[in-house]
Amino acid sequence: MTRATHVAIFNACWLLHSNVVYMAVALANAGYKVDLFLFEADERLVENMLDGQTGVTVHRLGRLADYPEPAAPTPPRGPTLQLLHDLAFKVRWRFRKVSPKAIRERFWPETTILPQPVLEQTAQRMAGNRYRAFIGVEKGGLVWAHLAAKRSPAPVFYYSLELYTRDHPYCSWSDLNRRLKLAEEKCHRRCYATIIQCERRGKAILSYNGVRSDAKLVYLPISRLEKEGRVESRFFQDRFGLASDTVLLLIFGLISEHRLSPELARAAQRFPADWRLVFHGHGPEPVIQQIRQIDQRGRVVLSLDQVPQDQLTRVVSSARIGLVLYASETINDQLVAFSSEKIALSLQCGLPVIAFRYPGFDFLEMERCGVLISTLDELAAAGRKILESYGEYHRNALASFHRHFSFEKNIHALLEEVRKLS
């Protein structure tokens, strides 16, 4: 029997994360032929990262809008047929909870996530290949990998990036999100292993999804490539006309109430005159306007232009301190120490970090590369503490990155698990 040399990665109904791209490249460099399947996957943040990469074949199968549901049947003509049609509708409505569709969504939710043409195209593109492993990224990717494994049996790895319980608001935002959560739980129980960022998140996801507690976990923190390290940069200073000695405290990513953005803007009003809080990212216009209204003392900089992934280090390196501050309402945001690109990128660029005192963040103070706070009232004091010994904090930040967030180091555990498969 010939050796299985292919690995398939499935990314559906989720943005394409840089770590997924790194993973595909690492598997290809290890000698595997990698098929990266994408459906309803936002690629804006990783554009051009796979250009010229050998060993990785990208299969783009469109978006949900490309596969509209079949149109509703035209009501029959004539009074008698119309009456029968209306009666049938009332019966279906009365017993809607036990309709075939409702039964499928409840007991076989995985069959309701991906359009049938996507599954058929997947099978066609996989035909003739022998797969060593399937990796499903997030919930949609897990469902996709699970369905693909029925046609081409191979161990399925679940690569979880976010933790959601059933009562999380995300699961009620749309019918699709609700079905994704139900399907995740069912498919996760059948996986060979779970790729997760740390032990705490591993225990949490096994518990919430009803997976046995001794199931295999492969740890892969959100990491960065060593070669994309700190550079000398004046990105914010030049773009916004800031003095060279301005102390920039940077938080990047989503700007929203859920990310405490208005509260951070209020805290910044107590900053010294030569400090600025920089929001680099995107968010809804009402929140942006709210921040502008709060900033009566000119302590906030809004940097709203998207930059390519390969320019992120230049952006971050121009700041002095990185902020990793998440709200505490969800388990996902509490257990974020090794699952946030904010902390990996900040440390990689030598930025000491200020974070909330959540589980897992204690290494920041133990390794003296950051300061932990309990409330935003402590933010300015934490910044002053770092600035008093900035050189030491800066050097320790770089060392901490190499210790915890080097992708080249962290990917070895997964490569070894794939290698051991028959």
Q: What angle, rounded to 10 degrees, do the helices at 390-404 and 379-388 form?
A: 100
Please name the helix (run of DSSP H) or strand (run of DSSP E) that holds residue 18, with its range, or none: helix 18-29
Mean pLDDT by 10 residues, the chain (422 residues): 83 94 97 96 84 91 83 54 62 53 64 90 95 97 96 96 83 82 94 97 96 97 93 94 96 92 97 97 95 97 89 94 91 93 96 96 97 97 98 98 97 97 82
pLDDT value, residue 258: 86
What's the token pair of residue 360? 């897992």
Domains of the chain: 6-66+109-223+408-420 (3.40.50.2000), 226-405 (3.40.50.2000)
DSSP code for 113: T
Instruction: Give the residue among 141, 153, 122 at the shortest CA–CA distance from 184.
Output: 141
Other CB atoms within a 10 A radius of the CB of residue 71 amount to: 6
CB 307 within 8 A of CB 48: no
Measuring CA to CA, which residue among 153, 165, 154, 62 is closest to residue 114?
62
DSSP structural state of residue 252:
E
18 touches 45 (CB < 8 A): yes
CA distance 181 to 381: 41
Give residue 172's pLDDT.
72
Residue 90: predicted pLDDT? 57
Amino acid letter for position 105: E
DSSP 131: E
CA dihedral 133, 138, 251, 172 (to 10 degrees): 180
CA distance 30 to 23: 11
Task: Report which DSSP code applies to 422.
Answer: -
Residue 386: both structure tokens together: 């770092």
